[in-house]
Chain A
Amino acid sequence: MSSNSFAYNEQSGGGEATELGQEATSTISPSGAFGLFSSDLKKNEDLKQMLESNKDSAKLDAMKRIVGMIAKGKNASELFPAVVKNVASKNIEIKKLVYVYLVRYAEEQQDLALLSISTFQRALKDPNQLIRASALRVLSSIRVPIIVPIMMLAIKEAAADLSPYVRKNAAHAIQKLYSLDPEQKEMLIEVIEKLLKDKSILVAGSVVMAFEEVCPDRIDLIHKNYRKLCNLLVDVEEWGQVVIIHMLTRYARTQFVSPWREDDGLEDNEKSFYDSDDEQKEKTDKRKKPYTMDPDHRLLIRNTKPLLQSRNAAVVMAVAQLYWHISPKSEAGIISKSLVRLLRSNREVQYIVLQNIATMSIQRKGMFEPYLKSFYVRSTDPTMIKTLKLEILTNLANEANISTLLREFQTYVKSQDKQFAAATIQTIGRCAANISEVTDTCLSGLVCLLSNRDEIVVAESVVVIKKLLQMQPAQHGEIIKHMAKLLDSITVPVARASILWLIGENCERVPKIAPDVLRKMAKSFTSEDDLVKLQILNLGAKLYLTNSKQTKLLTQYILNLGKYDQNYDIRDRTRFIRQLIVPNEKSGALSKYAKKIFLAQKPAPLLESPFKDRDHFQLGTLSHTLNAKAAGYLELSNWPEVAPDPSVRNVEVIDLAKEWTPAGKAKNENPTKKFYSESEEEEDSSDSSSDSGSESGSESGEEDEEGDSSEDSSEDSSSEPESESGRQSDTENRRVAKRNSKTKGKGDSKDEKKENEKSKTSDSSNAESSSVEESSSDSESESESESESESRKVTKEKEKKTKQDRNRLATDVSLLDLDDCQYSCLCANENSCAASSNEWKRTSCPLFLSKTALYFW
């Protein structure tokens, strides 16, 4: 093949006529059809020349044009030999574009693609991590089976790379290799197992992704990493979060016992009362053996909660489905607020979220009832959004809100969007059927609509009224008469058929009208729609059986018409009916029962939501949206009866202990440690409160009160005429001037406070002291410092102090300046040694420590 490419180059170099070029092309691109693109070929000639040239700029230009061709979907495969030679270009942009080209065409030109492999193998050893990573990316994207062993080797090496970025790419490469050659599964699982242990937030999402792709059933690989994943989750990038949350949902359903009590489903509304009480009570309530939630189960639920606040709709939805599928039912309520928030987003997000809410609202009405009005329809919504909102409104309708809803529906019925108006009428029908109090109101409302000018509206009303009347076999003679009159004006077949069916069914209640209707229908039979014809036949049959005196001849006339109808269904039905109802010597035993057959009590139709039972699909999935199992859908298993051994998730303590104490670095790292660890520690303490079942505002009550008072006072003081914030910068300057003097004064007073509160970390005191010092303009100082001290009291309780920190507590003033220095040196540090920055994160995670401690003691 390589000789071929050389020959090819000579030709192009010689600049011969297109004829020769074509010949060469035909050997390479089997698709042919070059006759059509002769002008393209000419253009490609000059591209080839540019690629041959010595100048990078020409090459770059050529590559840019080629990428343009690829983007438009034009075939550029014949340039492969010329392009592939540039794979080792020094110019990084050329190189990248060559990569783009290679990935696109390597599959078609496998032999030539091999020429580039050695370049990548070399790049895999490059000291620059970006180059290593991108070499791995391209190498693994070249779908050429021969290089599978090379890829495998590269992945294994990259998985052990020092750079987490390269390891992340290794995780991506796993999936690519797996789809190229599933035979490698076992080896790949080994790599996955190794990468799952990785503690970098960069790697976590990607490796879980690979896990889901390659071996989703190997749940055992997750055990040891479960707690780590839960704890890392908040810091992982958004896309990784989605994948991890979905995986952990599946995991939780296999490893923990159900937190749902049996009576949960029945007492949806009462549950909110229990909420405020602590879980202890709920537990003792249980008749069976008391349920205690596995702390790991709790850990997952607790750690995902902050992600409801994510800006990424996919993350919010992922958490929502996690709560729906694995949290105690009493706690799932918190997701509704976030889901409703997503409704402000673009229409695509709305569409998916509304679908999921529709499914949820059927089962647990109470969750979304407070947000009823958020589902009101605007005339500017697209129809698909309108109908989904309507669906949810229907699900939420109950005795209490139905009158408000019906008033709202009245507006919708008049909508210019007729499809939506029709859907509204269906909805009214469903409400009428579900809520017996309003059945009559709805029915009369629907009857009013029968005089509507729009045919679609009338037709839909007829169909819905038919269903409703069928459910209530009470006396509705008037309505039926009214509808019989409509037959003269309505042309929509479904509606006509419905009316005829209704009259037939109730023919004994309207003995005078029914035969007359049949007469009219007999007249128009031939011009009716098939659907209507069938119902005319039915009506005739029923009347023949109940009132043969008046209708015998009419019916026979209709049967004769039906006998010669063009539609075989109608001919069939005619034959069947004739044999059944008209007695003759041949008619079998069945005709005796004809009346019973035709006028049997028919079960009323059930008006149900199309979203009923959709929750057997995991929420938020493609399968749920399509209401059909999508390829690769992973079933959510049922809760196990007995929890599998929880100790499998324990991690050896020694292992972790080593990593926690990078003693040498500790000093420099402290500033970062501060804000991350602070948050983690708070998390720890709020854990306990959320554990006890309190839902909203996970802070302790006392702090709430304090916050209130301090806020009030600060609000008062700030009601000065000038709008503070706008001019902050002005006042800022003044503050700077005062800064030094103030620092001293403050510092003194602060020292006193310090002594009162015996334990505090130096870091947070730094931050606070500086904030107090900066913030306190004279008018505010009092309230400020008050709130400050209060909040400090709280943090005091929360924070555990380390010995190191205590030592570093020097005088406040000097610390202030020190603080700044530490910050800047931290920044430098953070950027330079990225690998270890992740290390710090782990070390600075006391939650991690306390958790494991908890599990081992």
Chain B
Amino acid sequence: MKMIHSLFLINCSGDIFLEKHWKSVVSQSVCDYFFEAQEKAADVENVPPVISTPHHYLISIYRDKLFFVSVIQTEVPPLFVIEFLHRVADTFQDYFGECSEAAIKDNVVIVYELLEEMLDNGFPLATESNILKELIKPPTILRSVVNSITGSSNVGDTLPTGQLSNIPWRRAGVKYTNNEAYFDVVEEIDAIIDKSGSTVFAEIQGVIDACIKLSGMPDLSLSFMNPRLLDDVSFHPCIRFKRWESERVLSFIPPDGNFRLISYRVSSQNLVAIPVYVKHSISFKENSSCGRFDVTIGPKQNMGKTIEGVTVTVHMPKVVLNMNLTPTQGSYTFDPVTKVLTWDVGKITPQKLPSLKGLVNLQSGAPKPEENPSLNIQFKIQQLAISGLKVNRLDMYGEKYKPFKGVKYVTKAGKFQVRT
């Protein structure tokens, strides 16, 4: 297992704008195989993540309009590479606020230093954000000014304490004047609703994202009112697995800063409440160049909470030329090139249900579309975890101060699709 040999970053227009080699240099021309595959795939989403070339294997990910293409020479678990590349992208995001071509080009030296630390001879060395930040400080305006005056550097000269301890995810010597711990319980509903409005498939997936700003070495335990709802859970490495197994309590020494504590799936026995319903009638007339489009959206099982941030996205068939619609609420756009209709609805008020009605212009002479398009729906409900999950309490041991603690609940639509 030689792991990752080289990495190329490629933008959407096919320019290789960064390369890094951890062993001997591999020529850029290896990317030609990738471009070939990209051309064949037509769509960026369909570029195969693993490509075999005569002398190398290319494993790539697509993130934020960029391709991360890694060159591999020998057998390696593909997920290992994929997961690592995503971790690299996450790190860039963490350091520069965004993972874009511009941000990477502007910070090319830091990018290089990061890549150097993250991988040694193609094998991951330090991937924990807490460790990396001790080694290489993220860029800030203030720091760059100070550095240019004092001549100090962005690079740490001692080994990050995390590297050696049993808790590599936490850096030492953390100090805050205000000690705070926030938890966001975010649940997403994945669903497929069929034509008649009945649920084909629905599932709740959730995550708890934490933002912990606590001094010292706090040892936290988070308990739930109803932990049995959580059917399948994956943990941040900081969580003590056995404690969860035996008591259903999340006990951990947290990393400093933002991180994902757990992600979970709610057991499938529980019926999933679907907070919205959609009435739709989309029809295309035979042998005519127009069709009708009529969609109304309304609340259902929303636990008395407001549904907001509603957007409806529809990939219209290729023969659709244009759409003339009138929304009773919000605004809509139709992109004639990608054929994507987006209706930004906003908040749903039960008194007056938002609807979008009008005519669809079709390419004349073309056969009418075989199938009606699916509606993809986005929404958000604040202060509600749709599964009913509730955090019971958060206790802190190991430090004397009293932290400020907060929990927030949000429910969102995940992959929420209505077939028409």
Interface residues of A, Cβ cutoff 8 Å to B:
56-57, 60, 64, 67-68, 70-73, 91-93, 96-97, 99-100, 104, 107, 128-131, 133, 137, 140-141, 143, 163-165, 169, 172-173, 175-176, 179, 201-202, 206, 209, 212-213, 234-235, 237-239, 242-243, 246, 306, 309-314, 316-318, 337-338, 340-341, 344, 346-349, 351-353, 373-374, 376, 378-380, 382-384, 408, 411, 414-416, 452-454, 620-623, 625-626, 628, 630-634, 672, 675-676, 678-680, 682-683, 686, 698-699, 703, 707, 711, 714-715, 718, 723-726, 728-729, 732-733, 736, 767, 770-771, 774-775, 791, 794-795, 819-820, 823-824, 826-827, 830-831, 834-835, 837-838, 841
Contacts and interface: CB of A to CB of B under 8 A. Distances in A.
Given A316-B234, A824-B217, A827-B172, 4 more contacts: A242-B77, A351-B48, A632-B2, A707-B248
B130 to A, nearest CB: 13
Given A632-B1, A823-B217, A317 B79 contact: yes
Contact of B159 (A165, A383, A632, A823): A165
Nearest to B242: A679
Given A382-B46, A622-B78, A235 B120 contact: no
A762 B43 CA distance: 62
Contacts of A699: 245-246
Contacts of B113: 96-97, 100
Interface string B101-142: 000000011011100100011011101000000000000000
B193 to A, nearest CB: 11
A549 B237 CA distance: 82
A774 B216 contact: no
Contact of A130 (B157, B247, B318): B157
B324 interface: no
A71 B82 contact: no
Contacts of A628: 52
For the complex of A and B, 9 pairs with smallest distance between CB atoms: A834-B164, A632-B74, A679-B242, A414-B371, A93-B153, A382-B45, A130-B159, A823-B398, A827-B217
Nearest to B55: A631
Given A311-B260, A347-B62, A212 B1 contact: yes
Contacts, number: 357
Contacts of B410: none
Given A382-B43, A621-B75, A732-B405, A830 B111 contact: no
B376 A380 contact: yes
B159 A351 contact: no
B159 A129 contact: yes
Given A213-B1, A416-B315, A137 B120 contact: yes
Interface core residue of B49, B225, B234, B367 (most chain A CB under 10 Å): B234
B165 A383 contact: no
B391 interface: yes
A676 B241 CA distance: 10
A725 B46 contact: no
Nearest to A371: B268
Contacts of A680: 242
A676 B246 contact: no
Contact of A128 (B158, B237, B376, B415): B158
B61 interface: yes
A221 B88 CA distance: 34
Contacts of B77: 242, 246, 314, 317-318, 620-622
B61 A348 contact: yes
A770 B397 contact: yes
B78 A311 contact: no
A841 B112 CA distance: 35
B232 A56 contact: no
B241 A823 contact: no
A416 B121 contact: no
A60 B402 CA distance: 44
B194 to A, nearest CB: 8
Nearest to B228: A711
Contacts of B32: none
23 contacts: A96-B116, A97-B112, A202-B163, A213-B1, A311-B234, A338-B234, A340-B232, A348-B49, A352-B82, A453-B367, A620-B79, A621-B76, A630-B74, A632-B2, A699-B246, A703-B246, A707-B248, A718-B392, A726-B406, A767-B397, A823-B398, A824-B216, A824-B400
Contacts of A344: 190, 205, 263, 265
A690 B16 CA distance: 52
B65 to A, nearest CB: 14
A387 to B, nearest CB: 10
B71 interface: no
B246 A794 contact: yes
A165 B393 contact: no
Contacts of B265: 341, 344
B233 A128 contact: no
B123 A172 contact: yes
A561 to B, nearest CB: 34
Contact of B251 (A337, A675, A826): A675
A724 B55 CA distance: 60
Interface string B12-26: 000011111101110
Contact of B123 (A93, A179, A239, A312): A239
B374 A379 contact: yes
B75 A622 contact: yes
A296 B158 CA distance: 40
B395 A775 contact: yes
Contact of A791 (B23, B127, B164, B247): B247
A69 to B, nearest CB: 10
B293 interface: no
Contact of A682 (B60, B234, B245, B417): B245
A626 B399 contact: no
A344 B240 CA distance: 24
A416 B390 contact: no
B60 to A, nearest CB: 8
A794 to B, nearest CB: 7
B124 A239 contact: yes
Nearest to A717: B225
Nearest to B157: A92
A246 B79 CA distance: 13
Given A379-B417, A384-B46, A774 B395 contact: yes
Given A93-B155, A622-B72, A383 B46 contact: yes
Contact of B2 (A57, A213, A729, A838): A213
B36 interface: no
Nearest to A838: B166
